């Protein structure tokens, strides 16, 4: 998974954002995907974020 992320960054397929930009991005309509475990998500998360644990992400891509 990390290899795909690095390749996507190097090829300009994704953009990185600083955490301080998150409120502005949400205001502009961005959807936040939280890949933490359900237990981690319950202990704290960004309001209105969607939780898909990292170990389920590949199988669930395109299903929601």
pLDDT tens column, 3-57 = 777 787 788 877 788 989 999 999 999 999 999 999 999 999 999 999 999 899 8
Residue closest to 51 by CA, chosen among 62, 27, 59, 40: 40
Is 1 a residue whose pLDDT tops 70? no
pLDDT band at 60 (very low <50, low <70, confident <90, very high): confident
Could you tell me the residue range of the domain that residue 57 belongs to?
A: 18-64
Q: CATH number, domain at 50?
A: 3.40.250.10
pLDDT value, residue 41: 98
- Asked whether residue 11 is domain-assigned, the answer is no
- Choice between 2 and 41, residue whose per-residue pLDDT is larger: 41
- Asked whether residue 5 is domain-assigned, the answer is no
- Asked whether residue 3 is domain-assigned, the answer is no
- Asked whether residue 45 is domain-assigned, the answer is yes
pTM of the model: 0.68
Torsion of CA 20, 25, 28, 30, to 10 degrees: -160
- Number of domains forming the structure of the chain: 1
Provide the greatest CA pair distance for the chain.
35
């Amino acid at each position: 998974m990390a290899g795909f992320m690095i390749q996507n960054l190097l090829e300009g397929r994704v953009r990185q954002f600083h955490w301080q930009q998150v409120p502005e991005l949400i205001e502009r309509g961005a959807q936040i995907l939280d890949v933490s475990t359900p237990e981690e998500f319950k202990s704290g998360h960004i309001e209105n974020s969607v939780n898909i644990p990292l170990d389920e992400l590949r199988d669930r891509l395109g299903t929601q």
